[in-house]
């Protein structure tokens, strides 16, 4: 069973700053199977990145994903006010889907 850990738990930044979130898998996984979601307060999650680095439809290019093996990251190049939210990574091998515990990006 793949377990995902995310760090930091909370990231306190100001608008315009760069955010880097990490997701670590308990064992090596294919980068095709790693996705990132954003969940704003009171809203449903939204897919940001799939296949580790591919932006979903309509996602601004300030969001980027990278990584391989056990270590993956989501970078927001310049935080906009609407980017303050919780971010989850997710792994799936098409028979089990696992979410990380989330990173909250809050306004400093």
Chain contacts with other proteins (rule: CB under 8 A): 1, 32-33, 35, 37, 39, 44-47, 50-51, 54, 56-57, 86, 88, 90, 92-102
Nearer to other proteins, 37 or 63 (CB): 37
Please report where in the chains the tokens 């799936």 appear, as a residue: 92
Question: Whose CA is closest to 83, among 64, 66, 57?
Answer: 64
Pairing status of strand 19-29 against strand 10-13? unpaired
Closest separation in Å from C-beta 103 to other proteins: 10
Nearer to other proteins, 16 or 41 (CB): 41
DSSP annotation of 33: G
Closest separation in Å from C-beta 15 to other proteins: 25
Helices (H), the chain: none
């Amino acid at each position: 069973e793949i377990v995902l850990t995310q760090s930091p738990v909370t990231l306190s930044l100001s608008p315009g700053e760069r955010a880097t979130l990490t997701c670590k898998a308990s064992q090596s996984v294919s980068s095709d199977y790693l996705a990132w979601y954003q969940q704003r307060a009171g809203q449903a999650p939204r897919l940001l990145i799939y296949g580790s680095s591919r932006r979903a439809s309509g996602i601004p290019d300030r969001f980027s994903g990278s990584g391989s093996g056990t270590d993956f990251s989501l970078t927001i190049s310049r935080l906009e006010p609407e980017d303050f939210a919780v971010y989850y990574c997710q792994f799936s091998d098409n028979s089990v889907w696992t979410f990380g515990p989330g990173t909250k990006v809050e306004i400093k």
